[in-house]
Amino acid sequence: MTRRRQQAGLTLVEVLVTVVLLAILLVPAINALQSGLAGADVHADAARSHYRLVSRLEELLAEPFGNLSDAAIAAGGPSTPSNYSDPAGPPGRLIVYLATYDGDNADADDDAFTGVDSGLLWIRVDIENSIYSLQTVRTRGH
């Protein structure tokens, strides 16, 4: 009579095959985690930039309309930074553009910055040397 051997555990070959498979499969998993962590840093930078822009825009909207209008006239156009911009020098400074705005296009030239309407101002806040920017139009009544 022959006795059947019962398997008492894993053989060395099975353990080695398992370790090799895990090592091969862990490489893509670790790479995916690294991409996710890099994405988190990008998102954190974008969120910080957004909150800086919103904060400055809110400060500008709290200014009296007359002050902003005078600064827009002094700037001379939508491509010239206003005196509400941060001083030159530090990286990532906020640049504020102010201009009078043609909301109804009464002059029919399709240029929002000619034939201006009294009581409308265009405001744009940029972070220098970045893609981040916010803009809005302000009315005299607000």
Residue 133 falls within a domain, yes or no? yes
What rounded mean pLDDT belongs to the chain? 87
**Residue of higher predicted confidence among 2 and 18:** 18
Radius of gyration from C-alpha coordinates of the chain = 31
Residue 106, pLDDT > 80, answer no
Residues of the chain above pLDDT 70, percent: 93
SS3 percent helix, strand, coil of the chain, rounded to 5, is 45, 15, 40
Residue 1 domain flag: no
- pTM, 2 dp: 0.72
Considering the domain boundaries, does residue 4 fall inside one?
no
Query: Residue 42: which of 131, 125, 133 has the closest Cα?
Result: 131
pLDDT of amino acid 3:
57
Compute CA distances 54 → 5, 22, 119, 134, 141, whole Å: 74, 47, 22, 8, 21
Percent of the chain at pLDDT above 90?
Answer: 51
Please indicate, yes or no, if residue 114 is contained in any of the structural domains: yes
Q: Is 132 exposed, middle or buried (0-12, 13-18, 19+ CB in 10 A)?
A: middle
User: Domain span at residue 110?
Assistant: 12-139
Coil, strand or helix: which one is 133?
Answer: strand
- Tell me whether residue 71 is in a domain: yes
pLDDT digits over 30-72, tens only? Answer: 888 888 888 888 899 999 999 999 999 999 999 999 999 999 9
What is the reported pLDDT for 113?
Answer: 78
Residue 117 lies in a domain: yes
The answer to whether position 20 is within a domain reads yes
The number of domains in the chain is 1
- Residue 5: inside a domain: no
